[in-house]
Amino acid sequence: MSKMLKTFRKGGIHPAEYKLTEKSPVEILPLPEKVTILLSQHMGVPAIPVVSKGDTVKAGQLIAHGRGFVSANIHSSVSGKVVRIDSIPDLTGYKKPAIVIEVEGDEWEENIIQSTDLRKDITLSKDEILEKIRESGIVGLGGAAFPSHVKLILPKGKNAEALIINGVECEPYLTSDHRLMLEYGEEMMVGISILMRVLNVRKAMIGIENNKADAVYHLKDIASTFTGIEVFPLEVKYPQGGEKQLIKALTGREVPSRKLPIDVGVIVHNVSTAYAVYEAVQKNKPLINRIVTVSGKSLKKPSNFVVRIGTPIRFLIEAAGGFPENTGKVISGGLMMGKALNSLDVPVIKGMSGILVLPENETKRKQVEPCIRCSKCVSVCPMGLEPYLLMPLAQTGDFYRLEKEMVLDCIECGSCSYICPANRPLLDFIRLGKTEVNKIIRERN
Amino acid sequence: MSSILITILSLSSMGIVAAIILYLVAQKFKVPEDPVIHDIEDALPAANCGGCGYPGCRNFAEACVHTDSLDDLYCPVGGQETMDIVANLLGKEAKQTDPRVAVIRCSGSFENRPRTNHYDGASSCAVASALYIGDTDCPVGCLGMDDCVVVCEFEAIYMNRKTGLPVVIDENCTACGACVEACPRDIIELRKQNKKDRHIFVSCINTEKGGIAKKYCSVACIGCTKCFKVCEFEAITMGNNLAFIDSDMCVLCRRCVTECPTDAILEINFPPRRTKTDKEKTTLLDALMKRDE
């Protein structure tokens, strides 16, 4: 390629990609016997249940109401009977309120259009669309699960110039967004047009890393039939999928510390979110399923599944060929930012893009050694922080100094821990520091 | 020769001039200070542990001087003795405070509480607790890494590698509260120090229902209220499926210990049990009367 590909400048790493499932078409997973739907799958306030034990529900029926502005509705992902409303271990093992539904048949709410034909015409007005997105409980499907309607209502006096669509998928192993772009590209484009209408912008930029060349060409083809949507191949570099990194790569603008993308005139949404918006607005379908990559070198059949929210992870691993014997860790999310699980009974949540089953020798942490001041962590940090300094500050509890060192800018990408030749758990302590600093700031206000 | 003389003379005259200037400046900007602050600081243990709530012994001494009553001030390291000396220096009255000691309210050893997964992240309870439930199914139990041991400045806690639980050495413990602060699960409690370092306490802080708690820890408090019913001294309170023994009310009669079906109540540093005799019953009565006095 003669032209230099776009990317962000500061820091970044190149972990091995292991995109084992990039050629596997998305399969629809059969229904499990029971689903566990957590009431706090999004950032913000947990939803309040509106059904009670013993109720029969249909797929797509509202079962918990988002309370407050930053919250999201939760819908039943299956039809059946509510058997339990109780505290159930979530992904961290701590018990959180959840609704357990026993599956009976597969009956959907009447107003949901189940046919797969493309509906391109956007008939609704801006406010109607916004209301639909809010009602459908759509959250950012890239992983952070921030309620989408909140991002679509712009603060007063702020204007969006462009919509950025995140198709980067820079995490190793994960291919759910890649398959979505290939198989549901047109639907996604309609979703993007809907988002553009809500935000009142003329321009949308889709950023895709160049290791997904097929998706780039496919979307470029489709984009020519839509107005204002442009596709940009990006250089492969982790963590390009980070909101601030992607904005820098595509527009050259830097989001200032502790500001939002809208402060530089852009809004970022994930490709899966755009698809969910399409389904909600054009098909009346709330967010009740998503694509999850189940991958790992020791798995018999790594796959991409369309999974109903609340399906136990054990069920997904069974469908991918069963639980391999030498497994060391099961990770929810990507290899770099995902979290290890302590049970296979935890359910799929809205923000879960992948399940990685990794053998023991690949996951073992190495012996921690003293810092050798090589400053590799500083050079890879995409936010320009100094992880070698932040870690001891968090360890000794100097949180006021941590705040001055901009610890809250950390996006927790884990590049520092990845690159450290002394195997220091940099991110572990930085994360702890962030929590404490946030606590201090909250007390101050 | 003359150059050496000139050097010596010029340097000493410069020195003298500088000394005079410094003296005058020191006189001009002198901060008058209560000499008692210094005396009090000398009387304090100089541990600078922060157990009193002030950043160091000096700050505590200043606070003692600037306050009207010493009721809210207490040096846990020096104890009542030190506070009496401080009160003497200031001509104030020191409040009588019982010495305290830290206890670990968790008995979830490897044996009692099976491990369900293996944690290999950063070796810090605070990190692990923020990340997930820990390597057992108990959401409130001890995580067994060294946070409390590391913060202790008096070498009063060590980690028992066989049980995976920290142990407090009562003689060294000054009840400064550093470990209480450091524990992300709030397992450590400061309790009244009794004679011969005897303790009776519910060694569990789990608030889950009995059946669930018992599943992941064989010595969990299941909230059966048996100890509550047997206690004649109103030292035990129940709440959230958990019993709590107030160390200020407890007379160490040990009746609740035998009553507990899960051995969640621990008795420490007691002589071996005998069968109950009339004599023991009278001691019990004595204890009751003593408390009422």
Q: Do B241 and B173 touch, CB atoms closer than 8 A?
A: no
Distance (Å) from the alpha carbon of B153 to chain A's nearest alpha carbon: 14
Mean confidence (pLDDT) of chain A: 93
Q: Do B159 and B125 touch, CB atoms closer than 8 A?
A: no
In this complex, is the C-beta atom of A423 within 8 Å of any C-beta atom belonging to chain B?
A: no
Percent of chain B with pLDDT over 70: 93
In this complex, is the C-beta atom of B130 within 8 Å of any C-beta atom belonging to chain A?
A: yes
Closest-approach residue (CA) in chain A for B126: A432
pLDDT band of B283, cuts 50, 70, 90: low
Distance (Å) from the alpha carbon of B120 to chain A's nearest alpha carbon: 6
Q: Is the model's pLDDT at A195 over the cut of 80?
A: yes
pLDDT at A2: 41
DSSP codes joined into one string, A223-288: HTTSSSEEEEEE---BTTTSHHHHHHHHH---PPTT--GGGGTEEEEEHHHHHHHHHHHHH---S-
Classify residue A252 as exposed, middle or buried by CB count within 10 Å of its CB (0-12, 13-18, 19+): exposed
Quick one: average pLDDT of B64-90?
Answer: 87
Residues 6+ apart with CB under 8 A from A213: A233
Classify residue B33 as exposed, middle or buried by CB count within 10 Å of its CB (0-12, 13-18, 19+): exposed
Distance (Å) from the alpha carbon of A218 to chain B's nearest alpha carbon: 40
Residues B121, A429: Cα–Cα separation, whole Å: 10
Residues A144, A41: Cα–Cα separation, whole Å: 10
Q: At what angle do helices A126-135 and A271-283 cross, to 10 degrees?
A: 110
Q: Do A299 and A324 touch, CB atoms closer than 8 A?
A: yes
Distance (Å) from the alpha carbon of A167 to chain B's nearest alpha carbon: 28
Quick one: average pLDDT of A409-437?
Answer: 95
CATH, domain range B35-90: 1.10.15.40
Q: Do A315 and A321 touch, CB atoms closer than 8 A?
A: no
Considering B74-78, B145-149, B266-270, the range whose residues carry the highest mean pLDDT is: B145-149
| Closest alpha carbon to B138 in B146, B148, B128 | B128
In this complex, is the C-beta atom of B132 within 8 Å of any C-beta atom belonging to chain A?
A: yes
Closest-approach residue (CA) in chain B for A395: B124
Which residue among B122, B123, B132 sits closest to A93, beta carbon to beta carbon?
B132
Record: contact B132-A428, CB cut-off 8 A: no
Residues A330, B132: Cα–Cα separation, whole Å: 14
- Give yes or no for a cis peptide into A239 (omega within 30° of 0): yes
In this complex, is the C-beta atom of A3 within 8 Å of any C-beta atom belonging to chain B?
A: no
pLDDT at B186: 92
Joined together, the tokens standing for residue A293 give 């990559």
Quick one: average pLDDT of A260-264?
Answer: 94
Q: At what angle do helices A426-444 and A387-396 cross, to 10 degrees?
A: 60
Choices 3.40.920.10, 2.40.50.100, 3.30.565.10, 2.40.50.140: CATH for A33-103:
2.40.50.100
pLDDT per position as a tens digit, A377-404 = 999 999 999 999 999 999 988 999 999 9
In this complex, is the C-beta atom of B127 within 8 Å of any C-beta atom belonging to chain A?
A: yes
Report the SS3 class of residue A155. coil
Choices 3.30.70.20, 3.40.50.150, 3.30.870.10, 3.90.400.10: CATH for B100-292:
3.30.70.20
Quick one: average pLDDT of B268-288?
Answer: 68
The answer for A 331-390 residues in CB contact with B (under 8 A) is: 339-340, 342-343, 364-365, 368
Mutate to test the interface with A, among B119, B120, B181 (most CBs of A within 10 A): B120
Compute CA distances A265 → A239, B183, B267, whole Å: 21, 44, 66
Q: Is the model's pLDDT at A308 over the cut of 60?
A: yes
The sheet with strand A289-295 has its strands ordered as: A26-28, A303-308, A289-295, A354-359, A327-332, A339-340
Distance (Å) from the alpha carbon of A97 to chain B's nearest alpha carbon: 14
Residues A263, A423: Cα–Cα separation, whole Å: 37
In this complex, is the C-beta atom of B122 within 8 Å of any C-beta atom belonging to chain A?
A: yes
Record: contact A89-B124, CB cut-off 8 A: no
| Strand ranges, E, within A349-426 | 354-359
Distance (Å) from the alpha carbon of B202 to chain A's nearest alpha carbon: 23
Three-state SS letters, chain B: CHHHHHHHHHHHHHHHHHHHHHHHHHHHCCCCCCHHHHHHHHHCCCCCCCCCCCCCHHHHHHHHHHCCCCCCCCCCCCHHHHHHHHHHHHCCCCCCCCCEEEEECCCCCCCCCCCCCCCCCCCCHHHHHHHCCCCCCCCCCCCCCCHHHHHCCCCCEEEECCCCEEEECCCCCCCCCHHHHHCCCCCEEEEECCHHHCEEEECCCCCCCHHHHHHHCCCCCCCCCHHHHHCCCCCEEEECCEEEECCCCCCCCCHHHHHCCCCCEEEECCCCCCCCCHHHHHHHHHHHHHHHC
Quick one: average pLDDT of A197-222?
Answer: 94
Amino acid at B252: L
Which residue among A342, A364, A395 sits closest to B120, beta carbon to beta carbon?
A364
Q: How many other C-beta atoms are found inside a 10 Å radius of the C-beta of residue A389?
A: 16
Distance (Å) from the alpha carbon of A155 to chain B's nearest alpha carbon: 32
The answer for A 158-187 residues in CB contact with B (under 8 A) is: none
Compute CA distances A153 → A74, A192, A249, A351, B69, whole Å: 20, 16, 24, 21, 57
pLDDT band of B76, cuts 50, 70, 90: confident
Record: contact B127-A429, CB cut-off 8 A: yes
In this complex, is the C-beta atom of A94 within 8 Å of any C-beta atom belonging to chain B?
A: yes
Classify residue B12 as exposed, middle or buried by CB count within 10 Å of its CB (0-12, 13-18, 19+): exposed
Record: contact B121-A428, CB cut-off 8 A: yes
pLDDT at B291: 63
Record: contact A92-B116, CB cut-off 8 A: no
Which residue among B121, B132, B135 sits closest to A92, beta carbon to beta carbon?
B132
Record: contact B127-A425, CB cut-off 8 A: yes
Percent of chain A with pLDDT over 90: 87
Joined together, the tokens standing for residue A212 give 């997904």
Q: Do A308 and A31 touch, CB atoms closer than 8 A?
A: yes
| Closest alpha carbon to B155 in B173, B138, B139 | B173
pLDDT band of A202, cuts 50, 70, 90: very high
Record: contact A428-B133, CB cut-off 8 A: no
Q: Tell whether pTM > 0.80.
A: yes
DSSP structural state of residue A63: E
A289-363 classified as CATH 3.10.20.600: yes
- Residues of chain A in contact with residue B120, where contact means CB-CB under 8 angstroms, are 364-365
Which residue among B116, B130, B132 sits closest to A432, beta carbon to beta carbon?
B130
pLDDT per position as a tens digit, A65-79 = 998 889 999 999 999
pLDDT at B281: 59
Q: Is the model's pLDDT at B276 over the cut of 80?
A: no
In this complex, is the C-beta atom of B70 within 8 Å of any C-beta atom belonging to chain A?
A: no
DSSP codes joined into one string, A73-101: -EE-SS-EEEEEEEEEE-TTSSEEEEEEE
Distance (Å) from the alpha carbon of B139 to chain A's nearest alpha carbon: 6
The alpha carbon dihedral of B237, B238, B242, B243 has a sign of positive
In this complex, is the C-beta atom of A429 within 8 Å of any C-beta atom belonging to chain B?
A: yes
Which residue among B116, B122, B126 sits closest to A342, beta carbon to beta carbon?
B116
Joined together, the tokens standing for residue B55 give 């950043």
How many A-B residue pairs are in contact by the CB < 8 A criterion?
47
In this complex, is the C-beta atom of A18 within 8 Å of any C-beta atom belonging to chain B?
A: no
Distance (Å) from the alpha carbon of B38 to chain A's nearest alpha carbon: 29
- Residues of chain A in contact with residue B130, where contact means CB-CB under 8 angstroms, are 431-432, 435
Burial profile A351-381: b = 16 or more Cβ within 10 angstroms, e = fewer: bbbbbbbbbeeebeeeeeeebeeeebbbebb
Residues B25, B35: Cα–Cα separation, whole Å: 21
Q: Is the model's pLDDT at B280 over the cut of 80?
A: no
> What CATH class is the domain A129-283?
alpha beta
Domain ranges of chain A: 33-103, 129-283, 289-363, 376-444
| Closest alpha carbon to A429 in A372, A375, A385, A384 | A385
pLDDT band of A1, cuts 50, 70, 90: very low
Q: Is the model's pLDDT at A354 over the cut of 50?
A: yes
In this complex, is the C-beta atom of A435 within 8 Å of any C-beta atom belonging to chain B?
A: yes
pLDDT band of B237, cuts 50, 70, 90: very high
Record: contact A94-B133, CB cut-off 8 A: yes
Quick one: average pLDDT of A173-198?
Answer: 95
Compute CA distances B108 → A241, B213, B266, B267, B281, whole Å: 42, 11, 13, 16, 33
Q: Is the model's pLDDT at A183 over the cut of 50?
A: yes
Quick one: average pLDDT of B256-280?
Answer: 80
pLDDT band of A263, cuts 50, 70, 90: very high
Compute CA distances B265 → B109, B228, B262, whole Å: 15, 12, 8
Domain ranges of chain B: 35-90, 100-292
pLDDT per position as a tens digit, A17-51 = 999 999 999 999 999 999 999 999 988 889 999 99
In this complex, is the C-beta atom of A114 within 8 Å of any C-beta atom belonging to chain B?
A: no
Phi, psi of A388 (to 5 degrees): -60, -30
Mutate to test the interface with B, among A91, A92, A339, A398 (most CBs of B within 10 A): A92
- Residues of chain B in contact with residue A93, where contact means CB-CB under 8 angstroms, are 132-134, 137, 139
pLDDT per position as a tens digit, A76-134 = 999 999 999 999 999 999 999 999 999 999 999 999 998 888 889 888 999 999 999 99
- Residues of chain B in contact with residue A95, where contact means CB-CB under 8 angstroms, are 139
Mean confidence (pLDDT) of chain B: 88
pLDDT at B70: 84
Which residue among A342, A364, A428 sits closest to B117, beta carbon to beta carbon?
A342
Q: Is the model's pLDDT at A168 over the cut of 90?
A: yes
Record: contact A92-B133, CB cut-off 8 A: yes
- Residues of chain B in contact with residue A395, where contact means CB-CB under 8 angstroms, are 124
